[in-house]
Amino acid sequence: MAAFSAVKIPPPQFTTVRSSSQRPGSSPAHFAHSPSAFNSISFGSAKSVRSRPLFAVSSDVVSSDKTKPASSSASNPAVTREVALELYEDMVLGRAFEDMCAQMYYRGKMFGFVHLYNGQEAVSTGFIKLLNQSDKVVSTYRDHVHALSKGVPSREVMAELFGKATGCCRGQGGSMHMFSAAHNVLGGFAFIGEGIPVATGAAFSAKYHHEVLKQSKPEGLDVTLAFFGDGTCNNGQFFECLNMAQLWKLPIIFVVENNLWAIGMSHLRATSDPEIWKKGPAFGMPGVHVDGMDVLKVREVAQEAIARARRGEGPTLVECETYRFRGHSLADPDELRKPDEKAHYAARDPIIALKKYIIEHGLASESELKSIDKKIDDVVEDAVEFADSSPLPPRTQLLENVFADPKGFGIGPDGKYRCEDPLFTQGTAQV
């Protein structure tokens, strides 16, 4: 492995003033009686806060050429066979599922705005496969594969895409809103940046449970992952949450899936400083850049970031350099990206890279990998059949879940609950 030193992310050297002149309530005083309970930051003596050094860790990819992902020597694989196969299977599932989505869309089974994840599988697999069931994932509209990696069954995701009642959100969310309470997937956000504050709140909740309610787990705090893209990093909500997360040392990891394009806007032309990882240290947290086309590198960075969060050391900003092989959505003709850029990243296909790695290190044979491919094909086919044969949601579901109390629409002029009045769904005010 080259100069990548993800395993050695030291905590940022704070030089904050710890005196009575500190504003009351600026530290998370609602938790702590002693800061040492969750603060491993060393506080220096009173010094100007401005002299805080720029701190980040970056992989060799930042400065070096974009060559094929480096692999360690053939005699020393970075992962065990079980892990390698798990990663491979998860990435293949993500790819096969998305390809099937495209097929179903063009056949008219799926509708609306569908955004596919092809090419970015290493990020989802690299991070989410390290999580426990109680860890949380918050995503964007490109969320099918995040949900799958977290454990939501393919059947439920496919049924949701078809708009059926057996979908994970009972058909009400669709492609862009995958939620699962059982697997702690907090959505699915059509609006960029909207999920980040939600993830920040979820991380606060996890910390509160651990620190105050003392519902601690042996492995440490529950971690929240917030996934979002490069375009979102120019949005106010992102910066607000970086501040809050670091201020309160929340167990959250901000994962930037930098695929260089926001529909048709190139990241390089929309951002004053395109190196997103630098924004972490500006707020006092480590910022890491990683090759998002290499699942093993992503996993290594993720391991350290998650361990930090579990220990209570606070947030990390991870920028994954990745690429989407398809257009922004299935309605996007994708005319703006240059063919050589696409070819460059297609050559770094994460699945092909992992397959090569597995075979080179003798972790599995080609036929074993092929049988995984076949198994996944069957899973996806089964998901489609399930979704196809599932019923559409009943019409009564239209009024459900607007409020907690379905009778929350109040009482109509005839004295009955409005939601029970058949005219109510006809949209006419009482005449």
Residues found near other proteins in the complex (CB under 8 A): 111-113, 163, 171-174, 176-177, 190-193, 231-232, 234-236, 262-265, 269-271, 336, 392-393, 395, 397-399, 402, 409, 424-429, 431
| Nearest CA-CA partner of 143 in 172, 180, 106 | 180
Task: Tell me which amino acid residue 24 is.
Answer: P
Least distance in angstroms from the C-beta of 191 to other proteins: 6
Complex with other proteins: residue 37 or 392, whichever CB lies closer: 392
Complex with other proteins: residue 5 or 172, whichever CB lies closer: 172
Q: Are strands 185-186 and 179-180 parallel, antiparallel or unpaired?
A: antiparallel
Residue 321 DSSP code:
E
Least distance in angstroms from the C-beta of 418 to other proteins: 9
Task: Tell me which amino acid residue 379 is.
Answer: V
Task: Tell me which amino acid residue 409 is.
Answer: F
CB-CB contact of 294 with 350 (8 Å):
yes
At residue 260's C-alpha, the angle toward residues 258 and 262, to 5°, is: 95
Least distance in angstroms from the C-beta of 107 to other proteins: 15
CB-CB contact of 70 with 76 (8 Å):
no
Least distance in angstroms from the C-beta of 232 to other proteins: 6
Complex with other proteins: residue 50 or 269, whichever CB lies closer: 269
Least distance in angstroms from the C-beta of 99 to other proteins: 21
Complex with other proteins: residue 71 or 329, whichever CB lies closer: 329
Complex with other proteins: residue 52 or 278, whichever CB lies closer: 278
Complex with other proteins: residue 120 or 329, whichever CB lies closer: 329
Tally of CB atoms within 10 A around 296? 25
Quote the tokens at residue 265: 């806007």
| Nearest CA-CA partner of 115 in 261, 332, 260 | 332
Least distance in angstroms from the C-beta of 96 to other proteins: 25
Q: What does each C-alpha distance from 29 to 16, 23, 38, 87, 111 come to in angstroms?
A: 16, 11, 12, 41, 49
Least distance in angstroms from the C-beta of 272 to other proteins: 9
| Nearest CA-CA partner of 132 in 35, 268, 251, 258 | 251
Complex with other proteins: residue 149 or 271, whichever CB lies closer: 271
